[in-house]
Amino acid sequence: RPAAQSFTNTWTLGPRNSTPAGEEGAPGQQHHSVPWVATLLAGVLITTIVVDVIGNLLVIVSVFRNRKLRKAGTRDPR
């Protein structure tokens, strides 16, 4: 059963099943980490959270300012 990988080892360039350099067997390729991936992911997540919070605040303000939005329901078809 293979050992669990840590999150830092999941974003690497190169083949997944290569033998690390310095170990017995075929010479392996070194894994090069990609530091910009974590930065990009953090930026996208932070932007998404900020936009979500602002959108929810706009909905709350709209409900407080407009009485028609306070009641949930359908219009009378008559």
Q: What is the pLDDT of residue 69?
A: 87
pLDDT at position 13 over 60: no
pLDDT at position 37 over 60: yes
Q: Which residues have a Cβ under 8 Å from the Cβ of 20 and sit 6 or more positions away?
A: 28, 30, 31
Q: What is the pLDDT of residue 64?
A: 93
Q: What is the pLDDT of residue 62?
A: 94
Q: What is the pLDDT of residue 44?
A: 97
Model confidence, pTM: 0.50
Q: How confident is the model at residue 35 (pLDDT cuts 50, 70, 90)?
A: confident
